[in-house]
Structure 1
Amino acid sequence: MTLNDDSFTHWKNREEIAESMIPMIGKLHRERDVTILLHSRSLVNKSVVSILKTHRFARQIAGEELSVTETLPFLEALTTLDLGPSQIDIGILAENHRADDRGLSVLDFTAEAVAGATGGNKIDRREPRDVVLYGFGRIGRLVARLLIEKTGSGNGLRLRAIVVRGGGEQDLIKRASLLRRDSVHGQFQGTITVNEANGTIVANGNEIKVIYADSPAEIDYTAYGVNHAILIDNTGKWRDREGLSQHLRPGIDKVVLTAPGKGDVPNIVHGVNHDTIKPDEQILSCASCTTNAIVPPLKAMNDEYGVERGHVETVHSFTNDQNLLDNYHKADRRGRSAPLNMVITETGAASAVAKALPELKAPITGSSIRVPVPDVSIAILSLRLGRETTREEVLDHLRDVSLTSPLRRQIDFTTAPDAVSMDFIGSRHASIVDAGATKVDGDNAILYLWYDNEFGYSCQVVRVVQHVSGVEYPTYPATSV
């Protein structure tokens, strides 16, 4: 077999270009609090190969690869502008410029597209906002990873403390080890050290105090230097306003629950109804992973076609709520061994839709089956639409939504014919439309929606926390609502 020298030379050239992009991306992030995106995927702290793979992603969606030779000029143009804190998508910049017929130079077009983030229009850099994690299980540790990742610019959210129940000898070391290594999500990207004398974990320079407590009532967070913080409750122990209000202790301003809220607690799906959060709201919920997976596609379909009724069946990976081997459980079937059985159970996601998407008047029913995989689930969404359509039209619509709409951080799209659940571990989207499995017959549509019920959901949680903290910066180029 002979090596195709032209292909290899082309690859090496693209590697060199991607390598040149890394310091520009890093400098914009550190010095100006600007996050560079490519079709909603962050390029901050990415390797050469990761940058090239992200560019190749456009081929899967649009039929042709987006080359670094096309996006580099836009990145170079951004480095010359007086930018303020923002997120800027160079993939959309390149595609919009290609479609523009005014003959503008790359610099002039870029300056126009990001004018809201430059000069007198730019917003001030926000002061860091303290965050406390109450509970440090599957979601808590992934949210911690994301918060640590996002403190690179020195602004935004700052993880200050973790609250856990005491676990005995070497508790701190063991919790740090669980943060450092994860059987599903791999190694932590960075360094972690433990200071047992101070009771802290230091992750990528972030000093995180570990507080041991059996209830919220025991803690005065100001004693640990925590002020005006957002507390993220990952335990799910309390889900109503009365229970969650226990967290509103000295040093805590707001409480975000990583489970469906009950009663009058707002259930928020970022990208869909996060703009409805009242400034003075102190307690809110990020709903469930399944609610986050189905509500954005439901909105996309309802906006375009109307939805008369629907049913969601989730095939869900097992969770810590189930037993490793058969044992007592308060639920009827969850006591049976999770790694050995498919377990029929209930899901509250269908009923939660009404809270997150009140304009959808259609009845949505739902059920769930837990299956023996550790992560990534799939929601099968069966819809009766308001008008007849075709499979091609639906796929074109959802593809466009995933690329250019305000829901592009929530909805991803795959055309891979051999995609399976493991392929979506680490996805930062709330759900991924499987094009090959989509079925449409007249006014009936069936969508297959993959979702990383751990990491994708954690990303949604962090987006909500960024929004309520005031450190969610605008994205350019702007998309139409």
Structure 2
Amino acid sequence: MTVNDDSFTNWKNREEIAESMIPIIGKLHRERDVTVLLHSRSLVNKSVVSILKTHRFARQIAGEELSVTDTLPFLQALTTLDLGPSQIDLALLAATYQADERGLSVEEFTAEAVAGATGANKIECRRGRDVVLYGFGRIGRLVARLLIEKAGSGNGLRLRAIVVRGGGADDLVKRASLLRRDSIHGQFQGTITVDEANSTIVANGNEIKVIYANDPSEIDYTAYGINDAILIDNTGKWRDREGLSKHLRPGVDKVVLTAPGKGDVPNIVHGVNHDMIKPDEQILSCASCTTNAIVPPLKAMEDEYGVVRGHVETVHSFTNDQNLLDNYHKSERRGRSAPLNMVITETGAASAVAKALPDLKAKITGSSIRVPVPDVSIAILNLQLARETTREEVLDHLREVSLTSPLKRQIDFTSAPDAVSNDFIGSRHASIVDAGATKVEGDNAILYLWYDNEFGYSCQVIRVVQYVSGVEYPTYPAPAV
């Protein structure tokens, strides 16, 4: 047998093991509300190849690929336990087991490591929380995809309704088609049918009522069987407390805005200040995609080095706010053709930092250039630090933050020398540090941060909604203190 034959046989064996993992992962998710992770990346609803690629990601941590033969025994051990809703990281289980010197079996060690989610300690499955989308544009449709994907056991978030203005003939069919196919993010993973008689879109078994209204005051959500709902406003029409309060209609308990909030509306960046949300707060904002991209790495740098001042320049993909061809626009430059020009514009991300990081005393300024790409942007964060450092030290710090810190779902890290914007379409992180572009000299550090301003931001929105709804479950095994 040749070396190539050996490699191919090994691949086929690993495919078979990964294939055997899929029904176990699915059953844990559907029946027990358990999300199986690998280095904080969900394995739920993933293909054989995707599971193997996620295992390969371990090279960035241990220098060698994590094998499915290493993780399968821990997954099998989970099926023997009385598990409650939780997130369980197989990679962390395998790593801590290897470091443990007590000679425990995989089954014994797993039971001990996830004890907080079993037996008398387990969280009982909560009743599913109703969610309403107000608006169904770029962010609205991606948030809808994520809500449907995460429906799982039905005990988490449930997308119950979408509110839009009437669009004429075949409106429902056209909106369903926009959910089904996306020029940037590809096909919807599942099935979608339309029930025009009942004004309903059924996506992967989720019945989603489409409500036509021109103003929030026209709607009583309880008439549709919706109660205690979280409403996600992705129109951006109202951004202050007075305007967003219009959504607090019968059946709606909280309002989440997918744009920077004004006045006293809290701007939340998950991973940084989401734990500061007051239980009785009914209106909050998820800030902007750029704020979500820069605040987590800014916090990581502030915590380690201190930040004296900074400037962020965003090179941002064009959006629906701009014109295809030169035409009237309330903003002078944004009226010029988006696919044909680089357009200098403003960004509120820098000023929004103060809301998300109130303890940061450094002055952060910002500006933006819209460029002719449809998705994925890059923020260039130029920082003066409180102490001198080296490029190697900064990269080691940010790499470690992306792998093991509480910000690992927000910050990703790439050392690919040929990385370009298209590589980050579909990234679930708020931003990705580009190691090759990073520059450090003395007390000056310049970070290049890629971010999928559509999908990555939508993932941050969902994390905030999960947190305020109480379905963001703890992760096991707990990291060492």
Fold similarity call, TM over 0.5: yes
- Structure 1 portions without partners, runs of 5+: none
**Identity within the alignment, %:** 89
CA contact (8 A) 1:60 1:414 kept: no
* Separation of aligned partners in 1, 2:331 and 2:101: 62
Runs of at least 4 residues of structure 1 off by over 6 A? none
- Structure 2 portions without partners, runs of 5+: none
Could you tell which deviates more after superposition, 182-191 or 63-72? 63-72
For the aligned residues, what is the CA RMSD? 1.2
1:61 offset after TM fit, Å? 4.7
Amino acid at match of 2:50: S
Q: Which residue does 1:285 correspond to in 2? A: 285
- Counterpart mapping for 1:156-195 below 5 A: 156-195=156-195
* Separation of aligned partners in 2, 1:111 and 1:380: 45
1:211 paired to 2:201: no
Amino acid at match of 2:117: A
* Separation of aligned partners in 2, 1:277 and 1:434: 31
* Separation of aligned partners in 1, 2:378 and 2:434: 10
CA contact (8 A) 1:257 1:285 kept: yes
1:47-87 superposed Cα distances (whole Å, 9 cap, x missing partner): 10010011111224542211111111211121111111001
Q: Which residue does 1:221 correspond to in 2? A: 221
- Counterpart mapping for 1:70-469 below 5 A: 70-469=70-469
* Separation of aligned partners in 1, 2:264 and 2:113: 40
1:305 offset after TM fit, Å? 1.2
1:7 offset after TM fit, Å? 0.4
1:380 offset after TM fit, Å? 0.8
1:477 offset after TM fit, Å? 2.1
* Separation of aligned partners in 1, 2:187 and 2:278: 38
Count of residue pairs the alignment pairs up: 480
* Separation of aligned partners in 2, 1:76 and 1:394: 39
3-state DSSP of counterpart to 1:381: strand
Change beyond 3 A, Cα 1:104–1:301: farther
Amino acid at match of 1:142: L
* Separation of aligned partners in 1, 2:83 and 2:404: 22
Q: Which residue does 2:35 correspond to in 1? A: 35
Amino acid at match of 2:373: V
1:115 offset after TM fit, Å? 1.6
Could you tell which deviates more after superposition, 408-417 or 88-97? 88-97
Q: Provide the TM-score with structure 2 as the length reference.
A: 0.98
1:99 offset after TM fit, Å? 2.9
1:307-333 superposed Cα distances (whole Å, 9 cap, x missing partner): 111111111000011111101111121
1:467 offset after TM fit, Å? 0.6
1:382 offset after TM fit, Å? 1.0
CA contact (8 A) 1:405 1:479 kept: no
* Separation of aligned partners in 2, 1:162 and 1:247: 13
Change beyond 3 A, Cα 1:98–1:392: farther
Q: Provide the TM-score with structure 1 as the length reference.
A: 0.98
Could you tell which deviates more after superposition, 316-325 or 2-11? 2-11
* Separation of aligned partners in 2, 1:3 and 1:214: 66
CA contact (8 A) 1:61 1:414 kept: no
1:396 offset after TM fit, Å? 1.4
* Separation of aligned partners in 1, 2:349 and 2:362: 14
CA contact (8 A) 1:389 1:441 kept: yes
1:414-434 superposed Cα distances (whole Å, 9 cap, x missing partner): 111111110110011111111
1:101 offset after TM fit, Å? 3.4
CA contact (8 A) 1:92 1:404 kept: no
1:439 offset after TM fit, Å? 1.3
Change beyond 3 A, Cα 1:386–1:105: farther
* Separation of aligned partners in 2, 1:480 and 1:275: 20
* Separation of aligned partners in 2, 1:189 and 1:343: 35
3-state DSSP of counterpart to 1:197: helix
Could you tell which deviates more after superposition, 408-417 or 386-395? 386-395
Change beyond 3 A, Cα 1:87–1:390: same
1:161-195 superposed Cα distances (whole Å, 9 cap, x missing partner): 00000000000000000000000000000000000
Change beyond 3 A, Cα 1:479–1:331: farther
Amino acid at match of 1:450: W
Change beyond 3 A, Cα 1:62–1:308: farther
3-state DSSP of counterpart to 1:4: helix
CA contact (8 A) 1:166 1:212 kept: yes
